[in-house]
Chains A and B, each alone.
Chain A
Amino acid sequence: MGQTFRRITPQLVTLALVVLLVTVFFPNFLAVSFDGTRFVGPVVDVLKRSAPVALLGVGMTLVIATRGIDLSVGTVMAISGAVAAWAITSGYGLVGAVGLAIGAGLLAGLWNGCLVAIVGIQPIVATLILMTSGRGIAQLITEGRILTFSDPNLAFAGSGSVLGVPFPTILWIATAVVVALLMRRTALGMLIEATGINRAASALAGVNATVLLIAVYMASGFCASLAGIVATADIRGADANNAGLWLELDAILAVVIGGNSLLGGRFSIAGTMIGALIIQTINTGIMLSGFPSEYNLVIKAVLVLIILVLQSPNLAADWLFLKSMLKARRANVRSETP
């Protein structure tokens, strides 16, 4: 526990700084009130709106830990949303709609996983195929329209609340906790890290890397389908063109901000979740404090650059070299002065 905490300290500090900065510009940012049925306030809003990126981030963290990447998650969101809206309007009921949408996500993950693990295509290309063609599939399902529905049960997934807390918030926190426990209380997390560091070596050590990779991409598809259901339920309609558009990049950003290396290996789902919160706090903060939202992308770019510099293996080597130099000099000074 203490180790996990130390691991995500930089992310927590960043989040605190961002929150502090937003509070300076918008003093009411931390105010939360209870309006009789639910909590309201900017912080609650951040927790609710970070749901899609956080959900995608859970799957993306696992995929990136295997040294892969899943570019198709935004598109899978659109497909799952379209399936859910289509199923509910065709009378399959809530369970049918959610089940079919999750099924679509799992199927998309299976497709990606097979291309990566069995055919051996590099992940960025394998998932690019679904990314480009998937929106076409989603449009086939919605027949090119924005498929709206009025079922209150499905809409609950987007705008309902349990004990005053928005349902999307509960969903992403629960997903993150369950997946994190599954990874850390069993050997799964370690096996994924092993595959990410060296697939051939872990295969020799007896890890069934092929099945593991497929499972990881399916997990990513599953998370994307949950995000798709939330997004569709939120606007009570499936928009094949815009649902989840460019969210794959936000999800990757959340993973990177969370301190996970794009080169695979060790991962932290908690880190990614804080990364998603940082991104959403910045989004909401910029909106609230009256800055034009156009600054958003530039700030994100600067953020990525800073993280790149911090993560760079070259600079890390330089830093170690500098440190050892200093140490050597100090040792020299000590030995010269008797």
Chain B
Amino acid sequence: MSINPRLYPLLATIGIFLVGYLISYLQFPAMLSTRVIGNLLTDNAYLGIVAVGMTIVILSGGIDLSVGSVIAFSGVFIAVLLRDTSLHPLAVFALLLIITTVFGAAMGWLIHALAMPAFIVTLAGMFLARGVAYMMTIDSVAISHPFYSMLTSAYWLMPGKGRLTLIGVLMLISVLAGAIIAHRTRFGAAVFALGGGEQTARLMGVNVGRTTVLIYAFSGLMAGLSGIVFSIYTGSGYPLATVGTELTAIAAVVIGGTILTGGAGYVIGTLFGVLTMGLIQTYIVFDGTLSSWWTKIVIGLLLLIFILLQKGLLRLTAFGEART
């Protein structure tokens, strides 16, 4: 029995994460505690959620540069609305998710209707979302609502005093939902088909326009959800927050084994991509002497390794097909 070659990048990702964890554990035995694992999930919750949306977008062969700005917009929107109106946070959340989903859908529609690269359309979306956030406030607005303090302190104490927080659980649920959508639904199949090539997808009977709109709407929804999680995590809204998160999310997706040209990858891989990046940061904190900029360099190296791995893999499969 042989392993499906499509699984190689996923296995490599999980392997690198486990090896990395093992190395960290051998050096710092305290790494293997539920506290560290709990923090790993909590600290990367917003990144994980937004990366799930990004995975679907990249699987379809697109890219969404607007998500970082949308997260910042979400935080500001929530903070300003809670400060100036007497709406309940849950109502604000619902309103926000509708706005970000419609925003994403509008970008998807533009990409399809104008037949322009997703890169430049979502770049405009990036400017727009951050600009609107700036127009609402230029200062950091603190959120002080009793419901919020309840959300922040909601956690389940794992054995070993680790805290499994609400937002950590929310991320795991998002990954699960993303995996089901991508791998078990008609929409997911359409996304993969679109990633394989628009012409072929159309010939297979995929409604390209509808699928494109839905893909970016989903990414917008995830960015909005990530914004909520980020506002719970930081307890404030700040228009300059999460600058560059879109690129971190793309990096997480690539390290997670999804091929950037689209058409192949696993949502679960993205979770490991996010955790690997979190692990590097945790290692640097534990070490104490390394500077934080090593994070960027190591992430860049990992990106390079994974892209080369994918290249090699594509060449191998092409070679295999040519031989048979």
Binding site for B on A (CB under 8 A): 69, 119-122, 124-126, 128-137, 139-140, 144, 240, 246, 249, 252-253, 256, 262-263, 292, 294-302, 304-305, 308-309, 311-315
Question: How near does chain B come to A138, taking the closest CB pair, in angstroms?
Answer: 8
What is the 8 Å Cβ interface bit string for chain B, positions 292-310, against chain A (1 contact, 0 not)? 0111110111011001100
Q: Which residues of A contact B123 (CB under 8 A)?
A: 249, 252-253, 304
> In whole angstroms, what is the CA distance A126 to B127 when docked?
23
B299:A133 contact, CB within 8 angstroms: yes
Check B124–A311 contact: CB distance below 8 A: no
Inter-chain CB contacts under 8 Å: number:
117
Select which of A125, A132, A295 is within 8 A of B131 by beta carbon. Answer: A295
B116 with A311: CB separation less than 8 A: yes
- Do residues B293 and A136 form an inter-chain contact, with CB atoms below 8 A? yes
How many residues of chain B have a CB within 8 Å of chain A? 44
Q: Known contacts being A128-B250, A295-B135, is A136 close to B294, with CB within 8 Å?
A: yes
Question: Are A132 and B134 in touch, CB under 8 angstroms?
Answer: no
Which of A129, A133, A311 has the most chain B CB atoms inside 10 A of its CB?
A133
Complex interface: chain B residues within 8 A of A133 (CB): 296-297, 299-301, 303
Q: Are B291 and A144 in contact (CB-based, < 8 A)? A: yes
Contact B128 A301, beta carbon cutoff 8 Å: yes
8 Å CB contacts to A: which residues of B177-231?
none
B115 within 8 A of A: yes
Chain A residues, CB < 8 A from B261: 122
B92 interface hit (Cβ, 8 Å): no
B109-126 vs A, CB cutoff 8 Å, 1 = contact: the mask equals 010011111011101111
Whole-angstrom distance between the alpha carbons of A242 and B121 in the complex?
25
Q: Are B293 and A314 in contact (CB under 8 A)?
A: no
Contact string, B250-283, partner A, CB cutoff 8 A, digits 1/0?
A: 1100100000110000000000000000000000
Sort A-B residue pairs by CB-CB distance and give the 3 closest, nearest first.
Answer: A133-B300, A297-B131, A136-B296
Closest-by-CB residue of A relative to B254 is A125
On whether the beta carbons of A300 and B63 are closer than 8 Å, the reply is no
**Best-surrounded residue of B248, B260, B307, B311 (most CB of chain A within 10 A):** B307
Is B163 interfacial (CB 8 A cutoff)? no
Is the CB of B166 closer than 8 A to any CB of chain A? no
B115 touches A139 (CB 8 A): no
Closest to B251 in A: A132
Residue from the set A129, A131, A292 with the largest chain B CB neighbour count within 10 Å: A129
Given contacts A119-B311, A304-B123, A304-B124, A132 and B132 within 8 Å (CB-CB): no
For residue B138, CB closer than 8 A to chain A, the reply is yes
Instruction: Give Cα A167–Cα B110 distance, bound, in whole angstroms.
Output: 42
Chain A residues with Cβ below 8 Å from B124 are 301, 304-305, 308
Other CB < 8 Å A-B pairs besides A294-B134, A297-B131, 6 of them?
A132-B296, A133-B303, A292-B138, A297-B130, A302-B128, A312-B115
Bound: A311/B132 CA distance, A: 25
B237-256: CB near A (< 8 Å → 1, else 0) gives 00000010001101100100
Contact between A314 and B113, CB atoms less than 8 A apart:
yes
Instruction: Provide the bound-state CA to CA distance between A315 and B110, in Å.
Output: 12
- B313 → chain A closest CB, angstroms: 13
Contact, CB under 8 Å: A297 / B134? yes
Residues of chain A within 8 A of B114, CB atoms compared: 308-309, 312, 314-315
A314 to B, closest residue via Cβ: B115
A2 to B293, CA, bound (A): 51
A128 touches B251 (CB 8 A): yes
CB distance from A246 to the nearest CB of B (A): 8
Assembly CA distance A312 to B110 (angstroms)? 10
- B120, B130, B299 pick with most chain A CB within 10 angstroms: B120
- With both beta carbons as reference points, the residue of chain B lying nearest to A309 in the complex is identified as B114
Cα–Cα distance between A252 and B307 once the two chains are bound (Å): 24
CB–CB A294/B303 < 8 A: no
- B303–A298 CB distance below 8 A: no
In the complex, A121→B254 CA distance in Å? 13
CA A140 – CA B243 in complex, angstroms?
Answer: 21
The residue from B113, B243, B297, B307 contacting A136, defined by CB atoms under 8 A apart:
B297
Which residues does chain B contribute within 8 Å of A121, judged by CB atoms?
307, 311
Complex CA–CA separation, A140 to B113 (angstroms): 45
Who on chain B is nearest to A293 by CB?
B134
